Amino acid sequence: ATRHAEMVAIDRVLDWCKQHNRDYTEVFPQTVLYVTVEPCIMCAAAVRLMSILSCLFRFGGCGSVLSISSDDMVDTGEPFECVSGYRAKEAVEMLKAFYRQENPNAPKSKVRKKDHRN
């Protein structure tokens, strides 16, 4: 993966809007985004700039140094609802399964050795 899921989702909505002749400024404010972990600061800003209604994620809190979802910031779009803990147990298992895999594109010297942990 080279792009964060939030950016991929935004691009897919934009493509859908083009294909269906819809105005994205009307679609995003009705959109709920579901992601596995709390959006990074870049993705949280993108979610806010696109005026996405809310973002539900499984891990993390709602904000770090900046609370992008709710802070009063000039020219950054509307705040959005930020909900953590959504289906968290499933997310833990999904991330464990993901990290057990190897990246087939990694250089041989960078491929980690499997120690058969579960």
Catalytic positions are: 6
Distance from C-alpha of 83 to C-alpha of 1, rounded to nearest angstrom: 25
Q: How far is CA 42 from CA 35, 54, 57, 68, 118, in A?
A: 14, 16, 16, 9, 32
Backbone angles phi, psi at 26, to 5 degrees: -95, -25
- In a 10 Å sphere around its CB, with 0-12 CB exposed, 13-18 middle and 19+ buried, how is residue 30 labelled? exposed
Distance from C-alpha of 82 to C-alpha of 34, rounded to nearest angstrom: 10
